[in-house]
C-alpha cells in the first residue's frame, strides 16, 4: 500500500514539471514580458522607459533562462525561470502583479470557498442520490421516462440562468436573503444559503441522470435478484444493497473533485461577491494579473493530481477486492 | 445593383463551417452504400424524439450557414473601372434582416412596446416640456389613438400562421414525393402513412416540429415589421437581431471545436493504442499533463495571451470582423485542447482491444504496413466513438461559451453571441423595474438549441453505442 502511494506520487512529479514548463512557455515565450508590459500599461505607444520600469517593479527585468552577466550558479539562479517557475514548484508563488503576497491571499481566501463548496457537495449528493433511487424505484413507468426528460431539460439550462434567476427571485422579489456579500462567523450563513441552494439545484439535472444510470446498471445483477428472492422490501434492496454496491463509481466521481473544492466555484463566487479563491481567479483574469493566473493554474493541477491519487486509495478502502499493484 | 457587383469575403470560420457541412454530406453519401453504417441511422430515424430535435438543429444550422456567407456590397460611387466597396462585410442574413438592423430606437423598450422604457422630458408642440414616456421611432407607430394593441397583434399574426402552415404543407408534400419514388402506392397513401407515424422513417415529429417552427417564425416575421418583438437593448438595437446573429457563434463553437481537435485525438489515440510501448507512454503523458490543468484556467491563460498579442499587433488585421473571427477560431482551438483528451483516451482503449483481434493479426502476417492497418482496419471501426463524441460535446460547448463570455475570455466583445448578450444584460436585472427581455431572449434561444442537441445526442448514443444498452 505504502509503496504504491509513493510510486503514484513519484509519477505525479513529471506531470507537475510538464505543467510548470507549459505555463512558463505560455506566459514568457508566446508573449515576452515586454508585450505583457505594453498590454498592462494600456497605451499604444508606450515609452521603453515605462516598460523597463514596469518590468523592474514586477521582477520581470531579468533574463528569461540564462543570465550571462552573473557568476557561477547565479547564471541559472538569477533568471525569470528560476524566480517564477522553480519557486512555484515548491508552492512559493511570490507576489502578484499588483504587489500582494499570493500565498497569504490563498490562505485567506480558501475558507469562504470551502464554506460554499462543501455544503453544496454534501447536500447535492444526498439530494441527487435520493431522487435517483426514487426514479429507479419507478423504473420502466411513465414517471421514469418523464423524470429523465426533465433531467435533460434541467441540464440544458445555462448555469448563468440558475444564478441570475435565483438572485432575482429569492433576493429581489421575495427579499429572503441579501443579493450578494460576505461576512465572517455565523452571520455569513445568510449570505451562503442562496449560493448553496442554487448550486444544488443547478447540479440536479446532470447528477440525477448520472446516478440513475449507475443504479440501473447495478439493479440487473444477480445479488439483487437474490435479495428480492429472500423477500426483502424493494426499498431495503435499493437503499441497502444497491446503494452500497454503487458506492464505488459514486466515490470515484466525488473523491476526484474533493481537492478541487479549494479552488471554489468561479461563477458562484463572483456573482455573489464572496471573497474565495474562485473570485480571486476571476479577478486575476479580468485584471490581467498574470502572476495570479499562473499560480492558480499550477495549484489547480496539483489539486487535480492529488484527487486522482486519493481516488485510487479510496478504491481499496471501499472495495476490498481491489488490490493496488 | 446586380449580383456581380458584390465582393465575396471568406472568413476562416466560414470556410471551416462549409468544410464541416461538406464532410457531413460526404459521410452521409458514403454511409448510404454501406449496410453496416446505415443500420444505426435507420434505428435513429425511428426515434421520434431524435427526429423532432433534428428539425430544430437543422433550423439553427441553416441560419448559421446563411449567416456564414459574407460579402461586401458596392459603395455609392461604384463603377466598373474603379470598384469601391463598403468597408464593412455583411452576411446574407444581415442583408435579409436589414429592416431589423435599421430600426434602432433610442434606448430600452420592452417587447411590443410603443413607448420607451424610461421617462424623458418631451417637448410638446406648444413649447412646454412634460416628463413622460416618449413614443418609439418605429415600434407600434402604426397604431391609432385608442386602438387595442393585443387585437392588432392577433390580427397581424394570422398571415404568419397561414404562411407557416403552408410551408409545413410543402414539407409534407416533398416528403410524400420522396416516398412515392421508392414504392408505387398512391400519393395519398404515403401522406397518410407519414401523418399516422407508420412510415419507415418517423417523419411525423419532424413534420410537426418544423411546422411549429415555421408558424412561430411566420408570426415573428409579420410582427417584427411594426413591433420590436423581443424589445430593444440599451442602445436601442433589436434583441431579435442579436439573438439570431448569435446562432452562428453558438453553432461554430459547438462544431468547429470538435472539428479542430479530431485529427489530433484520432491520430494520437489510435497510435497510442496500436503501437504501445514508449509511444503509448509519451502520448499518455501529454494528455495527462494537459488534463490536469483545470480547463477554465488553461483557456483563461491562453486567451489572455492572445488578447495581449492581438492588442499589440492590431494593425495586422484588415478589419474588426477579421480580428473577431480570428479570436473565435482561436477560442475553438483552445477549447479543443482542453476537450480532446477524453476522446483520445476512448480511442486508445478501443484500439488496444482491436489490435488483438484476429483480422488485424492476419493483416500483419500478410505484411500489410502499419499505415494501412491503421487507416483501413482500425479507423473505420472506431468511427462510431468519434461520432458520439462530436455530438455529445456539442451542447456542453455551447453552454461553455456563455460562461467564458462572463469571465471575459470568450469571443470578441464585438461578436454577437448569447454569452455577450447575457454578460452585458446581467446588471439590468437589478434595475427597478427589471429589464428582463434581453436575458430571456438569449437564454431561450440557447436553451432550445442545447435541449435539442441533448435529446438528439441521447438518441444517437442509444443507436450507435453497442455498449450503452440502457434499461428502458
In total, chain B counts a number of residues equal to: 472
Which cell goes with A297? Answer: 493554474
From chain B residues 297-356, the ones with a CB under 8 A of any chain A CB are: 297-298, 300-302, 304-305, 307-309, 311-312
Q: How confident is the model at residue A247 (pLDDT cuts 50, 70, 90)?
A: confident
CA distance A250 to chain B (A): 19
- Determine, yes or no, domain membership for B65: no
Measured CA to CA, the distance from residue B363 to residue B260 in angstroms comes to 31
**What pLDDT digit, counting tens, does each position of B434-470 carry?**
788 888 999 999 999 999 999 998 888 888 765 544 4
Residue B247 has a pLDDT of 93
- Output the CA–CA distances (angstroms, integers) from residue A163 to A179, A203, A276, B40, in the order listed: 11, 12, 17, 39
Mean pLDDT of A126-138: 91
Which cell goes with B424? Answer: 452585458
Element (H, E) at B90: strand B90-91
Q: Do A213 and B305 touch (CB under 8 A)?
A: no
Q: Is A286 on the interface with B (CB under 8 A)?
A: yes
Residue A59 has pLDDT above 70, yes or no: no
Is pTM, for the whole model, over 0.90?
no
Q: Helix (H, G, I), strand (E, B), or coil: what is residue B7?
A: strand
Under the phi-then-psi rule, with left for phi > 0, alpha for psi from -120 to 50, and beta for the rest, what region is B113? beta
- Output the CA–CA distances (angstroms, integers) from residue B120 to B135, B162, B234, B429, in the order listed: 10, 40, 15, 21
Q: Do A160 and B426 touch (CB under 8 A)?
A: yes
- Output the CA–CA distances (angstroms, integers) from residue B442 to B111, B218, B424, in the order listed: 14, 20, 11
Report domain extents, chain A: 2-90, 102-318
Q: Do A172 and B434 touch (CB under 8 A)?
A: yes
CA distance A123 to chain B (A): 24
Output the domain CATH number for residue B383: 1.10.3720.10
In chain B, residues with a C-beta closer than 8 Å to the C-beta of A22 are: 289, 293
Residue A250 has pLDDT above 70, yes or no: yes
Q: How confident is the model at residue A323 (pLDDT cuts 50, 70, 90)?
A: low
CA distance A180 to chain B (A): 12
Q: Do A155 and B454 touch (CB under 8 A)?
A: yes
If you ran DSSP here, which 8-state letter would residue B84 be given? -
Selecting from B288, B294, B439 the residue whose C-beta is nearest the C-beta of A263 gives B294
- CATH annotation of A102-318: 1.10.3720.10
From chain A residues 171-230, the ones with a CB under 8 A of any chain B CB are: 172, 179, 213, 216, 219-220
Phi, psi of A264 (to 5 degrees): 75, 175
Measured CA to CA, the distance from residue B160 to residue B163 in angstroms comes to 5
Q: How confident is the model at residue A43 (pLDDT cuts 50, 70, 90)?
A: low
Residue B470 has a pLDDT of 41
- Output the CA–CA distances (angstroms, integers) from residue B210 to B55, B65, B165, in the order listed: 6, 18, 10
CB contacts < 8 A, A to B, total 128
- Output the CA–CA distances (angstroms, integers) from residue B40 to A290, B45, B72, B384, B454, in the order listed: 49, 9, 43, 10, 18
Measured CA to CA, the distance from residue B242 to residue B420 in angstroms comes to 10
If you ran DSSP here, which 8-state letter would residue A171 be given? I
- Determine, yes or no, domain membership for B452: yes
Chain A, nearest residue to B399 by Cα: A158
**What pLDDT digit, counting tens, does each position of B117-151 carry?**
877 777 777 777 777 777 777 777 777 777 787 88
- Provide the residue range defining the domain that includes B274: 243-464
Selecting from A219, A285, A304 the residue whose C-beta is nearest the C-beta of B300 gives A285
- Determine, yes or no, domain membership for B167: no
* Residues facing B72 on adjacent strands: B7
Number of domains comprising chain B: 1
- Determine, yes or no, domain membership for B215: no
Rg of chain A on CA atoms, in Å: 25
Q: Do B297 and A22 touch (CB under 8 A)?
A: no
Select from B286, B402, B403, B406 the residue whose CB has the most chain A CBs within 10 Å, as the one to mutate to test that interface. B406
Selecting from A22, A38, A301 the residue whose C-beta is nearest the C-beta of B312 gives A38
Q: How many helices (H) and strands (E) does chain B have?
A: 17, 5
* pLDDT < 70: residue spans in chain B: 1-4, 314-318, 465-472
Residue A318 has pLDDT above 90, yes or no: no
CA distance B367 to chain A (A): 37
Using CB atoms within 10 Å of the CB of residue A2, give its burial: 0 to 12 exposed, 13 to 18 middle, 19+ buried.
Answer: exposed
Select from B60, B301, B403, B467 the residue whose CB has the most chain A CBs within 10 Å, as the one to mutate to test that interface. B301
Chain B, nearest residue to A290 by Cα: B301
Q: How confident is the model at residue A6 (pLDDT cuts 50, 70, 90)?
A: confident
Q: Do B297 and A260 touch (CB under 8 A)?
A: no
Contacts of A52 (CB under 8 A, 6+ apart): A61
- Determine, yes or no, domain membership for B6: no
Q: Is A156 on the interface with B (CB under 8 A)?
A: yes
- Determine, yes or no, domain membership for B87: no
Amino acid at each position: 500500500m505504502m509503496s504504491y502511494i509513493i510510486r503514484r506520487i513519484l509519477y505525479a512529479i513529471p506531470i507537475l514539471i510538464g505543467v510548470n514548463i507549459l505555463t512558463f512557455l505560455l506566459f514568457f515565450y508566446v508573449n515576452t514580458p515586454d508585450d505583457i508590459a505594453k498590454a498592462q500599461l494600456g497605451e499604444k505607444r508606450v515609452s521603453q522607459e515605462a516598460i523597463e520600469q514596469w518590468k523592474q517593479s514586477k521582477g520581470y527585468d531579468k533574463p528569461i533562462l540564462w543570465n550571462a552577466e552573473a557568476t557561477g550558479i547565479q547564471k541559472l539562479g538569477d533568471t525569470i525561470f528560476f524566480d517564477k517557475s522553480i519557486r512555484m514548484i515548491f508552492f512559493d508563488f511570490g507576489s502578484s502583479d499588483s504587489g500582494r503576497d499570493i500565498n497569504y491571499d490563498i490562505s485567506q481566501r480558501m475558507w469562504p470557498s470551502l464554506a460554499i463548496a462543501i455544503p453544496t457537495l454534501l447536500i447535492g449528493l444526498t439530494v441527487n442520490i435520493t431522487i435517483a433511487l426514487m426514479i429507479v424505484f419507478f423504473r420502466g413507468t411513465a414517471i421514469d421516462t418523464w423524470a429523465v426528460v426533465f433531467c435533460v431539460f434541467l441540464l440544458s439550462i445555462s448555469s448563468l440562468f440558475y444564478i441570475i434567476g435565483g438572485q432575482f427571485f429569492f433576493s429581489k422579489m421575495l427579499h429572503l436573503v441579501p443579493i450578494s456579500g460576505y461576512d465572517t462567523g455565523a452571520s455569513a450563513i445568510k449570505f451562503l444559503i442562496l449560493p448553496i441552494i442554487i448550486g444544488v439545484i443547478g447540479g440536479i439535472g446532470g447528477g440525477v441522470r448520472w446516478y440513475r444510470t449507475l443504479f440501473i446498471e447495478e439493479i440487473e445483477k444477480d445479488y439483487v435478484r437474490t435479495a428480492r428472492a429472500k423477500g426483502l422490501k424493494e426499498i431495503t434492496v435499493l437503499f441497502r444493497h444497491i446503494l452500497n454496491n454503487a458506492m464505488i463509481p459514486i466515490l470515484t466521481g466525488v473523491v476526484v473533485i474533493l481537492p478541487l473544492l479549494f479552488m471554489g466555484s468561479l461563477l458562484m463566487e463572483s456573482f455573489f461577491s464572496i471573497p474565495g479563491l474562485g473570485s480571486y481567479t476571476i479577478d486575476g483574469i479580468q485584471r490581467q494579473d498574470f502572476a495570479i493566473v499562473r499560480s492558480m493554474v499550477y495549484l489547480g493541477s496539483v489539486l487535480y493530481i492529488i484527487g486522482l491519487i486519493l481516488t485510487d486509495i479510496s478504491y481499496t478502502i471501499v472495495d476490498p477486492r481491489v488490490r493496488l499493484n | 445593383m446586380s449580383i456581380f457587383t458584390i465582393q465575396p469575403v471568406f472568413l476562416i470560420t466560414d470556410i471551416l463551417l462549409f468544410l464541416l457541412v461538406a464532410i457531413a454530406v460526404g459521410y452521409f453519401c458514403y454511409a448510404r452504400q454501406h449496410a453496416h453504417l446505415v443500420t444505426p441511422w435507420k434505428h435513429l430515424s425511428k426515434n421520434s424524439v431524435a427526429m423532432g430535435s433534428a428539425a430544430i438543429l437543422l433550423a439553427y444550422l441553416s441560419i448559421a450557414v446563411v449567416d456564414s456567407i459574407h460579402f461586401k456590397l458596392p459603395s455609392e460611387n461604384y463603377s466598373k473601372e474603379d470598384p469601391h466597396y463598403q468597408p464593412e462585410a455583411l452576411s446574407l442574413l444581415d442583408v435579409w434582416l436589414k429592416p431589423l438592423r435599421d430600426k434602432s430606437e433610442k434606448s430600452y423598450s420592452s417587447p411590443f412596446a410603443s413607448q420607451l422604457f424610461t421617462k424623458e422630458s418631451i417637448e410638446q408642440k406648444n413649447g412646454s416640456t412634460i416628463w413622460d414616456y416618449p413614443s418609439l421611432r418605429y415600434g407600434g407607430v402604426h397604431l391609432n389613438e385608442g386602438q387595442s394593441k393585443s387585437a392588432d397583434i392577433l390580427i397581424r399574426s394570422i398571415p404568419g400562421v397561414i404562411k407557416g402552415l403552408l410551408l409545413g404543407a410543402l414539407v409534407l408534400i416533398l416528403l410524400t414525393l420522396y416516398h412515392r419514388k421508392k414504392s408505387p402506392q398512391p400519393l395519398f397513401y404515403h401522406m397518410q402513412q407519414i401523418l399516422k407515424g407508420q412510415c419507415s422513417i418517423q417523419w411525423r415529429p419532424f413534420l410537426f416540429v418544423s411546422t411549429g417552427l415555421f408558424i412561430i417564425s411566420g408570426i415573428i416575421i409579420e410582427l417584427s415589421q411594426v413591433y420590436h418583438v423581443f424589445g430593444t437593448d440599451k442602445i436601442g438595437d433589436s434583441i431579435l437581431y442579436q439573438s439570431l446573429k448569435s446562432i452562428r457563434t453558438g453553432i461554430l463553437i459547438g462544431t468547429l471545436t470538435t472539428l479542430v481537435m479530431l485529427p489530433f485525438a484520432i491520430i494520437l489515440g489510435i497510435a497510442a493504442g496500436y503501437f504501445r510501448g514508449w509511444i503509448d507512454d509519451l502520448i499518455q503523458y501529454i494528455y495527462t499533463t494537459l488534463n490536469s490543468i483545470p480547463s477554465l484556467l488553461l483557456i483563461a491563460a491562453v486567451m489572455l495571451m492572445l488578447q495581449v498579442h492581438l492588442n499589440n499587433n492590431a494593425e495586422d488585421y484588415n478589419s474588426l470582423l477579421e480580428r473577431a473571427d480570428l479570436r473565435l477560431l482561436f477560442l475553438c482551438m483552445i477549447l479543443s485542447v482542453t476537450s480532446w483528451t477524453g476522446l483520445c483516451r476512448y480511442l486508445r482503449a478501443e484500439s488496444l482491444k482491436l489490435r488483438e483481434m484476429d483480422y488485424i493479426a492476419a493483416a500483419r502476417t500478410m505484411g500489410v504496413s502499419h499505415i494501412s492497418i491503421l487507416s483501413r482496419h482500425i479507423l473505420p471501426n472506431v468511427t462510431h466513438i468519434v461520432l458520439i463524441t462530436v455530438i455529445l460535446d456539442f451542447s456542453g460547448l455551447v453552454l461553455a461559451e456563455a460562461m467564458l463570455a462572463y469571465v471575459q475570455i470568450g469571443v470578441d466583445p464585438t461578436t454577437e453571441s448569447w454569452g455577450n448578450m447575457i454578460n452585458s444584460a446581467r446588471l439590468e436585472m437589478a434595475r427597478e423595474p427589471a429589464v428582463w427581455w434581453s436575458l430571456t431572449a438569449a437564454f431561450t434561444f440557447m436553451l432550445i438549441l442545447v435541449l435539442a442537441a441533448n435529446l438528439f445526442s441521447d438518441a444517437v448514443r442509444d443507436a450507435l453505442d453497442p455498449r450503452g444498452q440502457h434499461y428502458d
